[in-house]
Amino acid sequence: MQIFEQHESGIRGYCRTYPTVFSTASNARQTDENGKSYIDFFAGAGVLNFGHNNPAMKKAVIEYLENDGVLHSLDMYTTAKRSFISSFVDTILTPRSMDYKLQFMGPTGSNAVEAALKLARKVTGRQDVVAFSHGFHGMTLGSLACTANSYFRDAAGVPLPHVIRAPFGCEPVCQGCTQGCGLDSLHQLRAQFEEPSSGLPRPAAFILEAIQAEGGVHVASAAWLREVQQLAHDLGALFIIDDIQAGCGRTGNYFSFDGMGLSPDIITLAKGIGGIGTPLAMNLVKPEHDAHWEPGEHTGTFRGQDISFIAGTEALRYFEDDNLMKLTRANGILMRDALQSVADRFPKRGLQVRGKGMMQALDLGDGSLAKQITADCFAAGLLVGPCGSGGRVIKLIPPLTIPDEDLAQGLAIFTDAAISRLE
Per CB under 6 A, residues contacting ligand PMP are: 45, 108-110, 113, 136-138, 209, 213-214, 242, 244-245, 270
The residue (of 113 and 417) whose beta carbon lies closer to ligand PMP is 113
Where does residue 365 rank: exposed (0-12), middle (13-18), buried (19+ CB within 10 A)? middle
The residue (of 270 and 377) whose beta carbon lies closer to ligand PMP is 270
Where does residue 19 rank: exposed (0-12), middle (13-18), buried (19+ CB within 10 A)? middle
Please state the closest distance from residue 172 (CB atom) to ligand PMP, in A. Answer: 21
Please state the closest distance from residue 346 (CB atom) to ligand PMP, in A. Answer: 29
Please state the closest distance from residue 61 (CB atom) to ligand PMP, in A. Answer: 20
Please state the closest distance from residue 274 (CB atom) to ligand PMP, in A. Answer: 11
CA–CA dist 226, 5 (Å, integer)? 47
DSSP state of 214: T
Report which residue type is found at 32. D
Please state the closest distance from residue 279 (CB atom) to ligand PMP, in A. Answer: 8
The residue (of 112 and 413) whose beta carbon lies closer to ligand PMP is 112
Residues 6+ apart with CB under 8 A from 262: 210, 222, 225, 226, 229, 239, 241
Distances, alpha carbon 373 to alpha carbons 51, 55, 264, 347, 392, in Å: 24, 32, 38, 18, 11
Strand partners, 379: none
The residue (of 270 and 382) whose beta carbon lies closer to ligand PMP is 270
The residue (of 110 and 411) whose beta carbon lies closer to ligand PMP is 110
Please state the closest distance from residue 404 (CB atom) to ligand PMP, in A. Answer: 27
Please state the closest distance from residue 214 (CB atom) to ligand PMP, in A. Answer: 5
Strand partners, 382: 39
Residue nearest to ligand PMP (CB): 109
CA–CA dist 339, 359 (Å, integer)? 12
The residue (of 108 and 313) whose beta carbon lies closer to ligand PMP is 108
The residue (of 113 and 342) whose beta carbon lies closer to ligand PMP is 113
Helices (H) and strands (E) in the chain, counts: 13, 17
Tell me the CB-side half-sphere exposure of residue 152, using CA atoms within 13 A: 23
CA–CA dist 119, 21 (Å, integer)? 41
Please state the closest distance from residue 139 (CB atom) to ligand PMP, in A. Answer: 6
The residue (of 138 and 391) whose beta carbon lies closer to ligand PMP is 138
For Cα atoms 47, 168, 134, give the angle at the middle one, nearest 5 degrees.
Answer: 50
Q: Phi/psi at 26 (nearest 5 deg)?
A: -150, 125
